[in-house]
Amino acid sequence: MIEKSAMIQLLAAFLLMKADGCNAEIRIVNDPGGGIGNYVARDECLRATGDAIVIDGYCASACTIVVGIIPRDKICVTSRAELLFHAAYNPAPRVRRQTKREATDLLYSLYPIEVQRWINQRGGLTRRGTLLSGASLAAMYSRCSGHETQGAITAHLPRETRQFVGH
């Protein structure tokens, strides 16, 4: 779970940004994913802000939960957006990855029906994973206009800390 102090810092940062009445843009870039619980907490917090979410690069594993928690009209994708879906597994070091059925079912249940259908057409959530990008992704989510090079807050849980970090 995200540490309480990290969550408080995150909420404080968003409240400060909102104080002037402006909406922020949250950009997801090169996020390898991590623990499902951490990402559910992150995305619930992001949803509460009402800010736009720009997927502008690699979003893998639990990072993809964002498409299930954030309303579709608050998400757009750039030409660089890639979502990698795969089964949940035990990340224990030096141990062969073991798929966790209950966690995989939870992950799958968080996705919108269109994403579930797309996953099903490709054999379901597997250990190997399936990449959603390009025209297939653009058919599900609107293209970002004018967001390809703009700066924004980046929302991810770095592998090193597994805490929400805003840049």
Q: Is the confidence at residue 165, as pLDDT, over 50?
A: no
- Dump strand ranges (E) for 56-146: 58-60, 75-77, 82-85, 89-90, 98-99, 130-133, 142-143
Say which residue the tokens 């996953």 belong to. Answer: 119
Domain that holds residue 65: 4-166
Residue 120 has what pLDDT? 97
Which pLDDT tens digit goes with each residue over 42-71?
999 999 999 999 999 999 999 999 999 999
Which pLDDT tens digit goes with each residue over 88-118?
987 666 667 778 899 999 999 999 999 999 9
* Pairing label, strands 165-166, 89-90: unpaired
**Measured between alpha carbons, how far is 42 from 1 in angstroms, rounded to an integer?**
10
Higher-confidence residue of 7 and 137: namely 137
**What CATH number is given to the structural domain containing 69?**
3.90.226.10
pTM: 0.74
Say which residue the tokens 């966690």 belong to. Answer: 103
Number of structural domains in the chain: 1
